[in-house]
Amino acid sequence: MPLFLSHTKPVRAEFSALRKIVLATALCCGLPLAQAQQQAPLPYTLPNPLTLQDVMSAPMHAHPLLATEQANLAKIQAQLGAQQAQDGLQLDLLGRLAWRDYAEETEEFHMAALHAKQSLYDFDRNRSQVEALQRHEEAQTLLSENTENQLKLQLMQGFFNVLLADFQYRIDNEAMAVAYVGLDKAKDELELKRLSDVDYLKLENEYQQILVKRSRSEYQQLQTRLALANLMGLPDARPDELSFPALKNFAQRQLNETTLEKLQQNVLQENPQLNALKKRLEAAQLKVQSQQASAMPDIALEGWAGQLSSYPEKREGNWNIGLTLNMPLYDSGLRDAKVNEAKADEQAVAAQIGLYEQKLRDKVADIYFQLKLLEAEQKQNKIFGDYADLYLDYSRALYENESKTDLGDAMVRLSEANYNQVAWQFKQALLWASLDSLTGKPLFESSSEMAGGKARQDEPTP
């Protein structure tokens, strides 16, 4: 399984040929590769090549974070059902086997009856509790959707990390090949006494440093793949080749006349996590109302039917029905303590809202100014790319005229230019996706937005 992939547009046939020469030199050096790690059979099979669409559309319900959110939602729904049942009809079967003293005589006092109770009015105490739990349910639903969006954003970042690791490996591999060629020439000069031992050891030390950097990049290729698979919930799988994603929709977006203040206001209105906190604030306020209503009476309709006593003909009869009133009189300060606790919860949630609004303003400002900086960064990358392209032409001309040249360094520079451009594209996409996630917009609503073609090693992005 190759630990590199290809990346978009062709440059020139000459560049491909030169690259093959350098890579062939590297392979002929007999340098160790991490091939042993690729031999174990994998229990999971991922699409090959793997696309961003495959990653983003993978089922995520089993992810631990989403499973936790769903469990929290199920718990709130269960609590809501239990609270709603408080106002419903309650039926009980009461039985008693007993004796008592009556008129200075011992007599039977048995009972077997059906008891029914229907709450009629409690001054909205239970309704406030029900509405509070409904707000919690709405808040948890928003949090679940936000968690899924954040996971997709992490998957997007993980996918890009793999591609960037492949680009970095290409740069370091070419630099290693160039250094090896130079070291090999220095070895010949050392044997001919044209180079001192000190100068040779200096070159060898520089080569070893480059080799270590190249090995680090190679392991980074594997590490980013394992991280992506683990995030997808497939820890034993490993992505092989990746297709370069189509990010045109992000590239076409512009801030235009949008101001930072407008963006911040929009995020503060639409952010799902902030709206979830606002729902929780409403729930806390309803809980305060419910606790305050606990001082008011309960009015219910109750009835019994069956054998109410051992002497139904003389005393209790076989049924009775009536209104009951339960009026709390004194509770040693229990009600006031619960009201104060509910108010403290309300104040805590209000403080969380203010704190999170501050955090959102800072985050939006950071994204906004990074988006503003993209244009200048793109211009810088373009100039560096033009320089690397012309420098390669210059070095090639010297090479063809058998003059001293640093053709290998020119190839490394061109690969670095490709890396900078790809990293810029990914940064642009992630910034816009992050801004979308702050407003609760689903990432990649259209699967065609993620479609990309399989790239080849000799097709870098200029």
Give mean pLDDT in consecutive 10-residue pieces for the chain, a chain of 462 residues: 39 43 45 41 68 86 87 96 93 92 85 93 93 96 93 94 94 88 87 88 90 93 93 86 90 86 95 97 96 93 89 78 92 93 96 97 95 83 66 59 59 80 91 93 59 45 36
Run of H or E residues at 119: strand 111-121
The fourth-level CATH superfamily of domain 13-450 is Outer membrane efflux proteins (OEP) (1.20.1600.10)
Beta strands in 295-454, from DSSP E residues, in sequence order: 298-307, 319-326
Give backbone dihedrals phi and psi of 324, rounded to 5 degrees, phi first. -120, 145
Q: Give the model's pLDDT for residue 406.
A: 61
How many whole angstroms separate alpha carbon 274 and alpha carbon 72?
18
With tokens 């109302």, the residue in question is 289
Q: Give the model's pLDDT for residue 268.
A: 96
Q: Give the model's pLDDT for residue 390.
A: 64
How many whole angstroms separate alpha carbon 260 and alpha carbon 31?
52
For 163-201, letters b (16+ CB in 10 Å) and e give bbbbbbbbbbbbbbbbbbbbbeebeeebeeeebeeeebe
How many whole angstroms separate alpha carbon 340 and alpha carbon 344?
6
- Kindly compute the dihedral angle of the four CA atoms of residues 383, 386, 392, 395, in this order, to the nearest 10 degrees: -70
Q: Give the model's pLDDT for residue 429.
A: 93
Tokens encoding 235: 């820890």
In the 8-state DSSP scheme, what is residue 50? B
Q: Give the model's pLDDT for residue 253.
A: 87
Q: Give the model's pLDDT for residue 164.
A: 95
Q: Is 252 exposed, middle or buried (0-12, 13-18, 19+ CB in 10 A)?
A: exposed
How many whole angstroms separate alpha carbon 10 and alpha carbon 244?
13
Quote the Cα angle for 50-56-60, to 5°. Answer: 115
Cβ atoms 5, 241 nearer than 8 A = yes
How many whole angstroms separate alpha carbon 86 and alpha carbon 108?
35
> Is the model's pTM score more than 0.85?
no
How many whole angstroms separate alpha carbon 319 and alpha carbon 306?
6
Reduced to 3 states, what is the DSSP secondary structure of residue 323?
A: strand
Q: Give the model's pLDDT for residue 395.
A: 61
How many whole angstroms separate alpha carbon 323 and alpha carbon 299?
7
Cβ atoms 436, 259 nearer than 8 A = no
Q: Give the model's pLDDT for residue 71.
A: 94
How many whole angstroms separate alpha carbon 384 and alpha carbon 87?
72
Q: Which residues pair with 107 in a beta bridge?
A: 100
Peptide bond into 49 cis (omega under 30): yes
Reduced to 3 states, what is the DSSP secondary structure of residue 453?
A: coil
Q: Dihedral sign, CA of 145, 146, 151, 153?
A: positive
CA distances, 227 to each of 35, 161, 239, 260, 300 (Å): 19, 9, 10, 34, 60
Q: Give the model's pLDDT for residue 74.
A: 96
